[in-house]
Amino acid sequence: MSTTTTETTSPGPGAMLSPEPIMQMMQGAQTTAILQAGVELGVFDRIAEGRGDAASIATEIGASERGTRILVDALVALGLVEQDGSGYRLSPLADTFLVTSRPAYLGGMSRIMAGEWAWTAYPRLAEAVRNGGTVLEQNVETPQFSFWETFATSSTGVAAPASQALAEILAPWTADRKPLEVLDVACGSGLYGLTLAQQQEHAQLTLLDWPNVLALTRGTVERFGLLDRTSFLEGDIFEVPLGGPYDLILASQIFHHFSEERCLELLRRLHGVLKPGGKLAINDFTAAGERIADEPFPRLFSVIMLALSHDGEAYPVSTYRRLLEEAGFAPPEVHEARGMPSRFLIAERAD
């Protein structure tokens, strides 16, 4: 997942500014809709299978030939499909990331980054700016919000490489920590805890999330063959008794939903159920520096949180360092994630 930025350098003397960058921004919703339709209809899969003309693609996806032609031509205009004589073929980018059988498939992320919530929230973004937070009745802090079911089933394309990277970073420590009790907080798909537990056969895993999410997560646990080493904990991460104590707590893509005060409250809760010398591993969208142009994604992601949460945003590494220290953790190790524009912060309980 990446963010494209448009060059807007000042023209030289006598040159005219082009409105094209502004027009491209205005067409963002249209671009998203085109990509989503291609994913939803299975257009990329059909072209990958060798269907190279609008008529055969239309037959396979059960759509009109005219509508299919217009959609695929638009995908050509976006650079996701290429024209091959009178037919179509996938660009290398689409072939790598938008074919469901590919290991790096990202199509499911369109349901997360631009799902139904986006078409509801973004038209009201100006209201959220005035309000300083979401104006939606249903938002990410709503108990058992159905979006989290979508997240659990659609985020594996980016969670899989990131969870593998985290398991590798933690491996030297987790291999020698026996027994190894692990809590995965707001686990979603469960991939972070499951990937680690699959590699560390002595690990006992507890997955915490809303009941509607865990009903889906259980299927992933079964596919990993780890039901005998996995427990499920249903409820609100701020209220449910956490059990423990644990050697390791995993917290992926959680803290950006809340204010700094709520983040500190949660960090203190997690600190309280860690064993001495235990570790907390955070994965989140976070910027390391101050220059926005160098790291645009966390700042753009904060707009999503403005639209969907009351007080959340993507916090910089410096904020995490301060909050972790206040909660009783040692200064964190910081590592780059794989598959997502995020970072791992791994902090040990200091006392």
pLDDT digits (tens, 9 = 90+) for 20-31: 888 888 888 899
Question: Are 207 and 231 contacting, i.e. CB atoms less than 8 angstroms apart?
Answer: yes
d(CA 38, CA 73): 11
> How many CA atoms are closer than 13 Å to the CA of 200, on its beta-carbon side?
30
Q: What are phi and psi of 63, to 5 degrees?
A: -130, 170
- From 227, 222, 172, select the one nearest 200 (Cα to Cα): 172
Query: Phi/psi at 121 (nearest 5 deg)?
Result: -80, -45
Cα→Cα distances 186→173, 300, 301, 310, Å: 23, 23, 19, 18
Q: Does pLDDT of 9 surpass 70?
A: no
Q: Is the pLDDT of residue 300 over 50?
A: yes
Percent of the chain with pLDDT over 70: 94
Give the pLDDT score at 311.
95
Cα–Cα distances (Å) from 241 to 152, 180, 233, 348, in that order, read 23, 20, 9, 21
| Alpha-carbon span 233 to 211, nearest angstrom | 8
**What is 43-79 written as a DSSP string?**
HHHHHHTT--SHHHHHHHHT--HHHHHHHHHHHHHTT
List, in sequence order, the alpha helices (H) in the chain.
20-26, 28-41, 43-48, 54-61, 65-77, 92-97, 109-113, 116-121, 125-131, 147-154, 156-174, 191-199, 211-224, 260-272, 296-308, 317-326
- Asked if residue 117 has pLDDT above 90, the reply is no
> Residue 240 and residue 235: Cα distance in Å, rounded?
5
- Higher-confidence residue of 267 and 287: namely 267
Q: Residues 276-290: pLDDT tens digits?
A: 999 999 999 999 988
Q: What is the pLDDT of residue 142?
A: 80
Residue 120 has pLDDT above 60, yes or no: yes
* DSSP per position, 215-233: HHHHHHHHHHT-GGGEEEE
**DSSP-based three-state secondary structure for 185:** strand
The pLDDT tens digits of the residues spanning 186-245 come to 999 899 999 999 999 999 999 999 999 999 999 999 999 999 999 999 999 999 999 989
In the block, tokens 């591993």 appear at 281
pTM, rounded to two decimals: 0.85
Residue 273, classified by CB atoms within 10 Å of its CB into exposed (0-12), middle (13-18) or buried (19+), is: middle
Exposed e or buried b per residue across 324-345, where buried means at least 16 C-beta atoms within 10 angstroms of its C-beta? beebbbeebebbebbbbbbbbb
Give the domains, in start order, of the chain with CATH numbers.
Answer: 20-107 (1.10.10.10), 147-348 (3.40.50.150)
Cα–Cα dist 279/182, whole Å: 10
Residue matched to tokens 């916090």: 315
Helix (H, G, I), strand (E, B) or coil at 118: helix
Region label for 82, one of left (φ > 0), alpha (ψ between -120 and 50) or beta (otherwise) = beta
Confidence of residue 5 (pLDDT cuts 50, 70, 90): very low
Please state, in angstroms and as integers, the Cα–Cα distance from residue 297 to each residue in 1, 3, 326, following that order.
9, 6, 27
CB 209 within 8 A of CB 187: yes
